[in-house]
Structure 1
Amino acid sequence: MGEAHEPRSGCPINAAVEVFGDRWSLLVLRDIIFGGRRYFRELQAGSMEGIASNILADRLKRLVEFGLLTREDVRPGQRARYSLTEPAIQLVPVFAQLGSWGARHRPTSSELRAGAEVLEQGGPALWLELMDELRRSHLGSPPAASSS
């Protein structure tokens, strides 16, 4: 993947799917966005779906290569911390819509469906609020100016 990767087509949906369309990449991003996990061990230990360490390492590497995450350079013996980039933060509405669809059309647990319902009911205003909080905690930047 990475720098020399040519997309299969110029379709925007294909372009997006090639970056984050495998299930593990989306779940890793979900756990960073909604679970506040920033370190490899946190992501692996907190994975509800039981991601294997080799798959997690591969997906983190790919997400960095595709510009959805950054990885802090660390000295030997230190844990690397991952941060969302602006393109990853802009996936919040996509996750909200995926969660809404999944809650309506697939079997889910009521406990885990609650988060999707809160995002759906909060709508774009809540999504923008969450995105601004992610910008502060991951990018160290002030909230984006509202375009409304």
Structure 2
Amino acid sequence: MVFSVLYHFYLEVSEGSKYYPDYLTHLVAKQTESLLNTFGYSTQVLPHPDEASMKVVVNGKYIARVIEGCNAVSVIILFLSFVIAFSGKLKTSLFFIISGSILIYAANLLRITLFTIVIYHYPEKQSFLHDVLFPLAIYGFVFLLWIFWVNRFANLKKEA
């Protein structure tokens, strides 16, 4: 709950900053743009004029938008909460929280990039990919991290 309140406060103070719509969402959009360009897709990310999001334009065609929910912060907060709830040794817990958060962030960037590429080529698949496959991928990844954490590092009392 504390992390969620802090994140909400961050979003409140981000309004009107030079990074639209907020710094983290802007960063994710720009990094997605870089990845898409690296993969050979001529991409621009532009502030959306009508809503708090960034438009992803590939080869001059508006393909997707990156909103605050796409920056993976809420997923990372969920991950952190679980690791803290089943904490292990402090040093191990901090290492796992930091490395897991970085992995989730990177997986999310890859998720958005792949989503954009697939939608560019197969726009009719957008609903299934956005609503089913890609959320399953990111939450499935977090679930696997949790399973790894509980089985390897969490301080759980085991009955003999």
**Same fold, TM exceeding 0.5?**
no
Which structure is higher in helix share?
2
TM-score using structure 1 length: 0.32
Question: Quick check: which one's strand share is greater?
Answer: 2
For the pair shown, the structure with the greater C-alpha radius of gyration is 2
